[in-house]
Amino acid sequence: MNRVLGIVGAGKLGTTLGLAASDAGWQVLMCDVAPIDVVAMIVEAMVPQAQLVSLPELVARADIVLLAIPFGLSDQLDYSLLDGKVVLDPMNYWPAVDGDVAALHGWTGSTTDLVALRNPRMRIVKTLNHLGYNDYAADARSGDVPDRRAVAVATDDPGAGELVAQLVDDIGFEPVLVPFDRSKLLEPDGPVFGRWLDAPSMRQLLGVTPARPA
């Protein structure tokens, strides 16, 4: 089935993942706040098979909405559009880029816990945040290659997890499904961030046991 990935933000991560997903057979929709002629040029050059659309159209058509925007600007998005949608959050808080974010003062959860509060009806998944954008191009391998680089997929929504795990697999990485309460461990100060890990090592560091074969 032809799946649709909607990417909000046509920057480094958004265009890299957009190209990987369209190469893997996903239909890719993109939107950005930058002037339309600038975004059109970027998308045409970087993700030629993607379609540039408005945010409401992207949300309406996408199976997964991927928020590839700076965390510090992410509160400006209209989250009311995202009711019932599978929302993939790859955002990291980088003080040098994002500045001081008042909502994080005294916050002990993950940034995705905070994003989830903006609309509790979203089907939130945290993933694709713990590798650099270059890694997605450099380390992608097809599923028949043993010991692929693992990518953790944190969610408590089994259907959303399965769909996002399929995307991760399709773009060349070994998805490791973990409960949403592991989200914080995927962040920049956590044990898996930026590391090359296979699936067993990822599971061990995140304290999960592999599913038993049926």
Ligand X SMILES: NC(=O)c1ccc[n+]([C@@H]2O[C@H](COP(=O)([O-])OP(=O)(O)OC[C@H]3O[C@@H](n4cnc5c(N)ncnc54)[C@H](OP(=O)(O)O)[C@@H]3O)[C@@H](O)[C@H]2O)c1
Residue 114 contacts ligand X per CB under 6 A:
no
Contact of 127 with 152, CB cutoff 8 Å: yes
Q: Please report how the helices 36-46 and 12-23 are oriented relative to each other, as an axis angle in degrees rounded to 10.
A: 40
Q: Pick the piece of the chain touching ligand X (CB under 6 A) from 114-122, 126-134, 157-165, 196-204.
A: 126-134
Q: Pick the piece of the chain touching ligand X (CB under 6 A) from 29-37, 101-109, 139-147, 162-170.
A: 29-37
From the number of C-beta atoms within 10 Å of its C-beta (0-12, 13-18, 19+), residue 88 rates as: buried
Q: Pick the piece of the chain touching ligand X (CB under 6 A) from 87-95, 119-127, 150-158, 202-210.
A: 87-95
Residues 6+ apart with CB under 8 A from 134: 16
Q: What are phi and psi of 162, to 5 degrees?
A: -65, -45
Query: Min. distance of Cβ 211 from ligand X in angstroms?
Result: 26
Residue 191 contacts ligand X per CB under 6 A:
no
Q: How many residues bind ligand X (CB under 6 A)?
A: 25
What tokens does 87 get? 């929302």
Residue 14 contacts ligand X per CB under 6 A:
yes
> Under the rule (CB under 6 A), what is the footprint of ligand X?
8-14, 31-34, 68-71, 73, 76-77, 90-92, 94, 129, 132-133
